[in-house]
Amino acid sequence: MIFVAYAEEQRDLQWVTVTLTTIATLLLSWRIATTIRYRGWLGLEDAFVIAADFSLILLAVFIYKSTTYGFGLHLVDVKRTGGDVKKALQLFWLTQPFYTLTNGFNKMAFLALYYRVFPMQRFRQACMVLMAISVGWTVSYLFVCIFQCTPVPRVYDRTIPGTCINFTWHRWSNAVLNLITDLSIFILPMPVIFRLNMSVGSRIGLVVLFSMGFFICLTTALRMATLHLTLRTKEPTWDSAPTNLWSFIEAATGVICACLISLRKSIGALWPNKWRSHKGTSSGPYQQYGNSGLGRRCVAVSRPRNGTTPEKSGSMYPLGNVKSAVKRRPDTYPSISPSESQECIIEGLKTAALVTTNRRSSGSESGSGDLVLQGIKVITDVEVLRE
């Protein structure tokens, strides 16, 4: 029923757009407040989500307004109820650019988040490649959906002489590329999460959290099931309604998921207590990084090469020249400025790191440093006392 036009679809277009837009905007407000509270500043990913929500609001306005002119009804019913077919189709055309913008900003928001919290070089290169593809997809299809007919008003008034693009190629290529890029984006962090040294329950929680984006892929696939209705129709106000409804659900789901994934600390409080284990795994290349669990701050311990601990020597050493305890190629950790990230990948992750340093003690010095261990951000405050 939801994949074909039906009698009550005009009503559903109205309440679904209002409800999902309200939910998405409330979650965005919660996300912004939580981010400022725990991190103190908004990042690029937050700006992309704000832009996506703004586009979603405009998309909802045009969809709702189109229903007031008869969109979602048979042509005969549009005229009978005093609607305006041309105005309804014009508003339907205006929804398409904002659908594209909302999805494009959603993709960029996820990639910007990945880029900030996962500092591995190859991972960030993959993020940049997908970001370029997402920007290219957004700009190209935004241009095509605006200028799909020459002259442009022919899109909603076919009595005007002119030409239009092949709508079948346009809409199917748009949907397929949209789905492929979404799948690539949401699969990208999974290998990194699977390699984290943490309890099974914590790892499952992270996988579930980062898998929320696959709901967007699901709605994209469901929307594709309605595309054929818009390509062979003599009543666009009636047959295009299911596609328009699923387009909005897809766009709103993207904004909602982008907000939920950044509310992991609040969501983590709802996670079952029996799965909040503080015991990390005891095998694998991450064993030297200590244990991890939900609900605690990140800490790090350093000691000099002479084997004495900071407590015994009475001095603290800055973290530097980190080497792996496993016999393999030494790990390299990029330098990250304090403004780039001040939080752990998992809010509240506890990680004890045993590292060595080449620094000698002389004089006194204090400072802060960030240590990145295969994707786990360990924030440390160290103080060096020199005699």
**259's tokens:** 């907000």
Q: Are residues 230 and 351 in the same domain?
A: no
* Strand spans (E) along 240-337: 301-302
Q: Are residues 250 and 118 in the same domain?
A: yes
Q: What is the pLDDT of residues 222-240, one digit of tens each?
A: 999 888 888 878 889 999 9
Provide the pLDDT confidence category of residue 304 given band limits of 50, 70 and 90. very low
Task: Report the C-alpha gap between 96 and 94 in whole angstroms.
Answer: 5
CA distances from 197 to 66, 157, 282, 288 (A): 52, 60, 8, 9
Domain ranges, residue 138: 9-273
Please report, rounded to a whole number, the percentage of residues in the chain having pLDDT higher than 90.
45
Q: Is the pLDDT of residue 362 over 50?
A: no
In three state form, how does the secondary structure of 51-96 look? HHHHHHHHHHHHHHHHHHCCCCCCHHHHHHCCCCHHHHHHHHHHHH
Q: Is the pLDDT of residue 273 over 60?
A: yes
pLDDT at site 40 = 85
The verdict on residue 290 lying in a domain is: yes
Q: Are residues 249 and 298 in the same domain?
A: no
Contacts of 175 (CB under 8 A, 6+ apart): 220, 223, 224, 227
From 113, 111, 98, 116, select the one nearest 51 (Cα to Cα): 98
Q: Are residues 146 and 46 in the same domain?
A: yes
From 255, 273, 291, the end of a domain falls on 273
Helix (H) or strand (E) holding 137: helix 121-146
Number of domains in the chain: 2
Give me the chain's average pLDDT, please: 75
Q: What is the pLDDT of residues 174-190, one digit of tens each?
A: 999 999 999 999 999 99
Q: What is the pLDDT of residues 73-103, one digit of tens each?
A: 999 999 888 899 999 999 999 999 999 999 9
From 240, 273, 306, the end of a domain falls on 273
Q: Are residues 108 and 143 in the same domain?
A: yes
Count of Cβ atoms closer than 10 Å to residue 11 Cβ: 11
Provide the pLDDT confidence category of residue 268 given band limits of 50, 70 and 90. low
The helix/strand/coil state of 366 is strand
The verdict on residue 82 lying in a domain is: yes
Q: What is the pLDDT of residues 140-170, one digit of tens each?
A: 999 999 999 999 999 999 889 999 999 889 9
Q: Are residues 117 and 182 in the same domain?
A: yes
